[in-house]
Structure 1
């Protein structure tokens, strides 16, 4: 049994005072099913976190990251999250969502209250706790 934490690379993508988030698929067995989270994913063997985040963002929304920076690392017993930050330089309708249930630009208020309406789900869905904490930390440092 492998008890090593999984390493993932995720991105805080911001546009003015809004943050792009993905509504995760509502399927059992994944972390935070049906919750809003940051885009990104697993780091493949032999991949560095910065290469992984570029690949994941391209795969998930068809967005080529502009120059980006490391924001921090958030670990718990299950997951080590390598967090990057980059501006979102295109309109939402220019992105192609190929993974997840929905995506949207969250306001500071959405993030603080910890939930946001999803057009695709037709209801208000919660933010993943760790994703909310990362964004609140980011907002505080800005």
Structure 2
């Protein structure tokens, strides 16, 4: 069975850009950062490009290798994510509000026909649960 490809959240691109920016400020190339963090180079590239999600563990290792706090990287990403291009600079709080609103929306992949009414817990009677073989059920 083929795996469905996961679509990254738009915030992932901003987080990747913040990681790349922090790496550039430390004058490190990807190879060196990958070696220091233990993250394979191809994975690190996908994180910086925003193609894949960055885990908290990876973010902590990256931040430690760059000698910057993970919070600083996330704040840079939130500030960039919150800017809409029309109102000028944004704060990390603006970005966080926007991020929370985007993940609070219901998934767009569900259709009205997919809604299932919850009926509660329904357990079979003891007699029905015990009689799984049709021959036994027929003799009762």
Structure with the bigger RCO (C-alpha within 8 Å, sep 6+) is: 1
Same fold (TM over 0.5): no
Point out the structure with max Rg over C-alpha: 2
TM-score normalised by L of structure 2: 0.23
